[in-house]
Structure 1
Amino acid sequence: MIRLFGILTGLVFTLVVLVAFVTGAYTAATEEATPHAPYEHPRDIDFSFDGPFGKWDTQQLQRGYKVYKEVCAACHGLKYVAFRDLAQLGYSEAQVKALAAEWQVPGIDPDTGEATMRAGEPTDYFPSPYPNNVAAAAANNNAIPPDLSLITKARGDGSNYVASLLTGYQEPSAELLAEFPEVAPAQGLYHNVYFPNLNLAMAPPLTSDGQVTYDDGTEATIEQMSTDVAAFLTWTAEPKMQIRKQTGVWFLGFLLFATILAYLSYKQIWAGMKPKKRKD
């Protein structure tokens, strides 16, 4: 009786799954697709860290940090990055201390015990520009700016996406508006050809060449600044990328060496031991 009940239960379950599959397949095949306004895929940018042998360009990372500090930090935080991590960008210990001191971070007044702001120290993490999400939404047309620590990991083709998005602001064409009138930016929104919804709440952060002055003398065009800050945000998301790639190359080399060694050992030890012929 129990076996019969189990068989019936399995048949019912299988029938339900089959009906759901057929219904879903029929709906997908017959439902008219809702047309969506086309958006452009991120540009393919040649970064120094691309590929299995890619390495960080520390000069570019330093330039990207400056773009973040002077442009992006007004709205976006880096809550998973500590100031001491900037040593990986080629800064000395003294430079890291000086860079950290340029920021104001939450602290406690030792005399009164009240919350206050103090100069940053290498052990501190990058502060958020807003005290909470309510304040962030109020200052950005009800949109909360995302933290950028892991943004290139959270977006497909992250490095290319960030660099492309920063250069993708433009007015929608008359042809696009005629076919998709809903893409006309509402008040407080901006049209961006690389954003899937085409309109986003973030105003163009890079508005003109020379917005940032690079210490190494590189010309700060919008294209250059967008690429540099994208590289910097790739580093914040994957600071161990270069070490991981170098480790992988050595590991693959070791496996290749071990494979060759095993084959030569086989040839040396077993190749001469032919199986004896069977006598009938």
Structure 2
Amino acid sequence: MVRFIAMLVGAAFTFVLALALWGTVSTAITDPAPESAEHEFHLHPKDAELSSAGFFGKFDRRQLQRGFQVYKEVCAACHSLKYVAFRDLEEIGYSEPEVKAIANQWVIETPSVNPDTGEATTRKNVPSDHFPSPFANEVAARAANNNALPPDLSLITKARHDGPNYLYSLIGPGAYRNQPAELVKEFPGSKTPPGLHYNPYFANLNIAMPPPLTADGQVTYTDGTRATHEQMSRDVAAFLTWTAEPKLESRHAAGFASVVFLLIFCFLAWGAYQNVWRDIKH
């Protein structure tokens, strides 16, 4: 009797779920959601063609150093990099003395406490410190950016779909543009509000961040590379790809070694099978 009741309850539950699923599917077919301005005018990211892309991708150390320059001279004024320490820069080709100099000369100093008075103070950065935030707190960050909170960039390429390409497209040439007249005509309520900027690569088309890169030569590369708008966009995207996944190369190497091992193992297993059963007649 108990088993029969349990089967009956299960059948009823299954029927209700099937009914709800059918209702959802039929509604989606007969009455689809209207297209939004974001859906129609949003653009997919362009391919940044980074050397780290793909199964066998590797970082270009010179490009990472150029990207760090762009972050330091442009992005660091608003965006933090709190999960990266100064000493991590040795992994992209900086020497220990260079890292010490970068940490010591960084514009923002690390918050500290005066041991004599107990009052809040700051001190020079050392290689073991993480990159300090450009703002004291969230309120100060919003006050300086039209009430928008600049995201931390440590993991930004992992936090966004197709992160490296998205970042490259978001700040690259042609990203910031005038709002299309067709958009306002078709969706009158989608006019870019004051203080925001139209960017078709951003999720809702309107972004609070003003164009960070505005002209060629905004950064003077130490390696002599011509700093075009496109080059700077690609380089900083490469650098932030590294901050989000600094072990990418070792992961690729481990994956490749695992695949080779599995192929050899399969070959040996097949050979063992043939050897064990060679005298057995089927």
Give the alignment's TM-score, normalised by structure 2.
0.91
Deviations 1:120-168 (A, max 9, x none): 1111111111222222122212211111111101111100000000021
Q: What residue number does 1:90 align with?
A: 93
Q: How many residues align?
A: 275
SS at match of 1:145: coil
Give, in whole Å, the separation in 2 of the partners of 1:184 and 1:193. 13
SS at match of 1:106: strand
Give, in whole Å, the separation in 2 of the partners of 1:24 and 1:96. 58
Quick one: structure 1 residues 252 and 3, their matched pair in 2 at CA, closer, same or farther if it must change by over 3 Å?
A: closer
**How far off is 1:117 after superposition?**
1.2
Give, in whole Å, the separation in 2 of the partners of 1:3 and 1:255. 47
Deviations 1:79-108 (A, max 9, x none): 111111111110111111111112211112
Q: What residue number does 2:200 align with?
A: 193
Q: What residue number does 1:202 align with?
A: 209
Q: What residue number does 1:34 align with?
A: 34
Q: What residue number does 1:240 align with?
A: 247
Aligned with residue 156 of structure 1, among 153, 156, 161? 161
- 1:48 equivalent in alignment to 2:51: yes
**How far off is 1:114 after superposition?**
1.7
Q: 5 Å matches for 1:188-267?
A: 188-267=195-274
Give the alignment's TM-score, normalised by structure 1.
0.92
Tell which structure's C-alpha radius of gyration is larger. Answer: 1
Quick one: structure 1 residues 28 and 272, their matched pair in 2 at CA, closer, same or farther if it must change by over 3 Å?
A: closer
Deviation above 4 Å: which 4+ runs of structure 1?
none
Give, in whole Å, the separation in 1 of the partners of 2:72 and 2:35. 40
Q: Note the aligned Cα RMSD (angstroms).
A: 1.7
Sequence identity, in percent?
A: 56
Give, in whole Å, the separation in 2 of the partners of 1:204 and 1:93. 34
Q: What residue number does 1:68 align with?
A: 71
Quick one: structure 1 residues 274 and 87, their matched pair in 2 at CA, closer, same or farther if it must change by over 3 Å?
A: same
SS at match of 1:98: helix
Give, in whole Å, the separation in 1 of the partners of 2:268 and 2:23. 57
Deviations 1:18-60 (A, max 9, x none): 3322222232122242222221100012111112221100000
Q: What residue number does 1:100 align with?
A: 103
SS at match of 2:136: coil
**How far off is 1:211 after superposition?**
0.9
1:143 partner letter? A
Decide whether the 8 Å contact of 1:100 with 1:119 is kept in 2. Answer: yes
